Structure 1
Amino acid sequence: MDQAVLTFHNQLKEEVQVFYTSDYCHKCVYQHLATVKPSNKNTSTVISTKFTLSVRVESQSRNSTLCSWSRTYREGGHYCIWLQTLDGSTEPTCSHTLNKSPNNTYLPLLVAALLLAVIALLIVVVPYVYRRRCTSPFLRTIFCRGPQYSVDNDGAHANETGQSTAKAKPTRLRSLDTFRGFALTVMVFVNYGGGGYWFFQHAPWNGLTVADLVMPWFVFIIGTSVVLAFRSMQRKEVSRLQLLRKFSWRTAVLFLLGFCFINYSPRDGPLSWSWLRVPGVLQRLGFTYFVLSLLQTFWGQKEIPLKAYHWWNPVQDVVLYWPQWLIIILLETLWLCITFLMPVPNCPTGYLGAGGIGDHGLYPNCTGGAAGYIDRRMFGDNMYRYPTCKEMYHTTQPFDPEGVLGTINSIVMGFLGMQAGKILIFYKGTNIRILCRFLVWAVILGISAAILTKCTRDGGFIPVNKNLWSLSFVMCTGCFSFVLLGAMYLVIDVKDWWGGQPFIYPGMNSIFVYVGHSLLGFYFPFSWEMHFQDSHWEWLFQSLWGTTLWVLAAYFLYWKKFFLKI
């Protein structure tokens, strides 16, 4: 899977060397691919089809490049490259032929997308039809017949329906639960392999894929939830000491779950400090939650001020929280200073690359720059050993995407979520203002990310990088978060076009689903040993199957009114 075969036919009278590099690999050193003997000899080799490859053929006797090209090869294809000299010419040429047509790798994804679209349509349409079965003139003729649905009773029935709907209207922000559940569902799908597609896996270094969006969405949701939950508790006159106890306990439980349980796998044998990873996803979420809770406890406004006129009214949700903003600005300044000014031994100051063979191979042991150096000094080998850059960049240094320095920007991302929560509170009842402010924040963050990256993957001031949790990564994913939450708020809470199903169920039992799929996800019936590993069909089916089972488990718990909380 994600591989093709290249066969080089050498009709020249000299031996040639073939080198390659991936166009996704930033300034990477060319790697040796094959040696092809002269005089009608051929050599076959397997290549990756995930990204575009740049290939060049070199002659040692001439000490020159005979030919070079850049091409995206497709999975399962058998390609031939003919090295020959054409009649009447002394210069060698390289020509391509296709021996075996590649597979249609996106067909499984297309079929799955169509099936999911039909299921989603049924999930949305069936409840809507059921609610309107006796209020719509057309549906009433089909579903509701009898004296109790006569014309005389239409007004009374409509009035009763309106009253029951008004009484049943939930006070909980369903869009936030749906957003959380959507992010969690995508996370489970990605952790099951995402069908083997590269865009459902984390980017090798710089850049952004679907998998890279999930973690910042969670952090954003944590910030929004902190504001809404603490405002409710503060109105109940819960003391600061009680708040401290509550979020300190929750932080400790998240740390414990992440450190002792999510780290553990039966394949690793008994728990051992030699391989136990200190940083982790739940550890970062727990620490981020703790800092955001402190900000809201000590520097959060208890009541919205009266609607008196002030020059800062249009930005009152920012001005009234100036101590929080000051702390966040100081934290971001700290991140920028450490990242770009801290000297790292044998590495250039401010280095943001992956090291290895990247940047022309000049800094092989500088993976992550200051962020990687700090983590290696603090944790040694007790950190993530297989970073996403290892395969492409041939790195040898461990690097943890949940390291210390990136946690600072995780707090900044959570603070953007807090800003969304403040908007929901300040402008409650004026939905158009809420949506407009969400849009304004999305535009500001999007423009900021575009400036920092210069709209490129590798060439900007600060590239988008999930491993480093760079400032541009926070800006970019923050933009997406405001857009997605705003869209869900409009569709679910304002227009009531959608109830959030099925994502709302895992969203209301997120701890259970996350911990459960991490501990049990690779056991039957959630997954199994695949027999057709050269195809996306079985892998995609397994990924969707495991994800669906966890969504159904969350629905069962929702039906039983069981919600696992910390």
Structure 2
Amino acid sequence: MVFVNCGGGGYWFFEHASWNGLTVADLVMPWFVFIIGTSVALAFYAMMKRGVSRIQLFRKLTWRTMILLVIGFCFLNYGPADGPLSWSWARIPGVLQRLGFTYFIVASMQTCFSIKDIDGYQFDTWWASVRDIVLYWPEWIIVVILELLWLCLTFLLPVPGCPRGYLGPGGIGDDGKYPNCTGGAAGYIDKWLLGEDHMYHHPTCKEMYKTTQPFDPEGTLGTINSIVLAFFGLQAGKIILMYRQQPLSILKRFLIWAVLLGFISAILTKCTQNEGFIPINKNLWSLSFVTTLSCFSFVLLGIMFYVIDVKKWWGGQPFIFPGMNSILIYVASSLLGTYFPFRWEMKYATSHAEPLFQHLLATSLWVLIAYLFYKKKFFLKI
């Protein structure tokens, strides 16, 4: 159900799934999105406790969002071989653009509806056991509305030449019946809003399904569900804050959320790759993709919380060092990651050993670079 060959050779699970299904590569960005929400809950609570006003928080989050959008658009949009950046072909969506917009919405919600004195809501009410949900009911209403919007646009929006609610890759998929319908409503909305010249022209489905249409995996409609995924991370942060004196309660609630979201995923997908109501699809950031990756994230965060915070078996080294300069390392690796010594032309690209060695060496080098920045006390913050 989960792992599918994406049409490449060698270490295929380093690549994204061609359409439905998951590979290891598909797990990375959703984890970042989830942790954005968790970090917002913890960081904004700490700042409010220090007396930072909501207006100051909004200014700060707006500035961070603008910086992320500018970096994503201007620095990660093209390579040196492309020449000067031109608006005529520049891709508007992107990873940092999605992260920035997701952060803006989630952080804005937390700024408007956060509660400074959460310790005042303990066990004196009938809803104390679910206070991490009840106290933030306006945020839940916003997220439910966003998800309803995604569902309505995805399944009810008429797309010319395509069946309503189409979630397929187009091209030769579905026996070639809908060659120009890649992504259904998601692709159609991006073409209408952004224009084909400003979208991604090499989606993961292109090789396997012989598609001819541009499709952006960081497009408009998928960003709605990116916000929903970050909101589940925000919920995890609230659990940590409200039950920080009760580690067992935190772990129990993480487990409950993981089971609930996993059960929803099983229903949506019918425990299959392609035959469910809403298949798991990273390109579309489908609802089942969000619930599945949120389930995984709650489990992973629970394990890390137990190992690092409860048992104190591990302090996070050496991976805490890239985290201290995350934007710098991300941008640098995106710009320089295709050059030696981070990558080279492999003699045995279809083998397992050489690609694995290349990825491990590149990761180790970036961790080392981050550690050197840490030793020099150089931190790039936005």
Which bin holds the TM-score, normalised by the shorter protein? over 0.9
Distance 1:494 1:247 in 2: 31
Match of 1:199 in 2: 13
Match of 1:408 in 2: 224
- Does residue 506 of structure 1 match 2:322? yes
Note the C-alpha offset of 1:272.
Answer: 1.7
Q: TM-score by structure 1 length? A: 0.65
Verify the 8 A CA contact 1:464 1:472 in the aligned structure 2: yes
Distance 1:308 1:525 in 2: 57
Residue 274 (structure 1) aligns with: 88
Contact 1:224 1:418 in 2 (8 A): yes
The aligned counterpart of 2:117 is 303
The higher-RCO structure (CA 8 Å, 6+ apart) is 2
SS in 1 for 2:198: coil
In the aligned structure 2, how far is the partner of 1:539 from the partner of 1:440? 38
Picking from 105, 114, 139, the partner of 1:324 is 139
Which residue of the other structure, out of 48, 54, 65, is the alignment partner of 1:240? 54
1:561 aligns with 2:377: yes
User: Any stretches of 5+ residues in structure 2 without a counterpart?
Assistant: none
Q: Letter of the aligned partner of 2:153 in structure 1?
A: I
Separation (CA, whole Å) in 2 of partners of 1:346 and 1:242: 49
Task: Please name the residue that 2:26 is paired with.
Answer: 212
Following superposition, the deviation at residue 199 of structure 1 comes to 1.4
2:313 corresponds to 1:523? no
* CA deviation after TM superposition for structure 1 residue 308, in Å: 4.2
> Residue 341 of structure 1 aligns with which residue?
156
Structure whose CA Rg is larger: 1
Q: Which runs of 4+ in 1 moved over 6 A?
A: none
Deviation at 1:455, TM superposition (A): 0.2
**Structure 1 position 262 matched with structure 2 position 79:** no
Q: Which residue of 1 aligns with 2:178?
A: 363
What is aligned with 2:360?
544
Q: Which runs of 5+ in 1 are unaligned?
A: 1-23, 26-49, 53-192
How far apart are the structure 2 equivalents of 1:399 and 1:356? 12
Q: Partners in 2 of 1:274 and 1:197 — Cα distance?
A: 35
* AA in 2 matched with 1:325: W
Give the residue type in structure 2 aligned to 1:334: L
Amino acid at match of 1:244: F
Cα deviation, residue 535, structure 1: 3.6
Is the CA contact 2:91–2:200 (under 8 Å) kept in the aligned structure 1? yes
Q: Structure 1: how far apart are the matches of 2:209 and 2:46?
A: 49
Q: Distance in 1 between matches of 2:349 and 2:122?
A: 63
Q: Tell me the SS of whatever aligns to 1:387.
A: coil
Residue of structure 2 equivalent to 1:250: 64
The offset of 1:345, in angstroms, is 0.3
- Residue 490 of structure 1 deviates from its aligned partner by 0.3
Residue in 1 aligned with 2:169? Answer: 354
1:534 to partner: Cα distance: 4.8
Query: Paired residues, what number?
Result: 378
Find the aligned partners of 1:539 and 1:499 in 2 and give their Cα distance: 29
For the structure 1 residues 527 and 460, does the alpha-carbon distance in structure 2 shift closer, same or farther, using more than 3 Å as the test? same
- The amino acid of 2:286's aligned partner reads S
1:427 aligns with 2:243: yes
TM-score between both structures, scaled by the size of structure 2: 0.95
Bigger CA drift: 199-208 or 234-243? 234-243
After superposition, what is the alpha-carbon deviation per residue over 1:212-231, rounded to whole angstroms, capped at 9, x for unaligned?
11111000000001111110
Q: Does 1:288 align with 2:288?
A: no
Contact residue 200 and residue 216 of structure 2 kept, 8 A: yes
* CA distance 1:524–1:200, change in 2 (3 Å): closer
Alpha-carbon distance, 1:493 to partner: 1.0
Alignment map for 1:52-91 (pairs within 5 Å): none
Q: Which residue does the alignment assign to 2:308?
A: 492
Give 1 or 2: higher helix fraction.
2
Cα-to-partner distance string for 1:161-214 (whole Å, 9 max, x where unaligned): xxxxxxxxxxxxxxxxxxxxxxxxxxxxxxxx9x94111210000001111111
The SS at the match of 2:267 is helix
**1:525, CA displacement in angstroms?**
2.4
Pairing partner for 1:464 from 276, 280, 285: 280
Q: Distance in 1 between matches of 2:66 and 2:283?
A: 25
Are residue 223 (structure 1) and residue 37 (structure 2) matched? Answer: yes
- Tell me how far apart the structure 1 counterparts of residues 351 and 381 of structure 2 sit (CA, whole Å): 40
Structure number with the higher strand fraction is 1
Q: Secondary structure at the match of 2:200?
A: coil
Q: Cα distance, 1:332 vs. partner?
A: 0.4
Q: Deviations over 1:337-394 (max 9, x none)?
A: 0000000001000000011111111111000000000001122221111000001111
- RMSD (Å), alpha carbons: 1.7
Q: State the Cα distance separating 1:558 from its structure 2 match.
A: 2.0
2:172–2:179: 8 Å Cα contact kept in structure 1?
yes
In structure 1, how many angstroms separate the alpha carbons of the residues matched to 2:60 and 2:363? 31
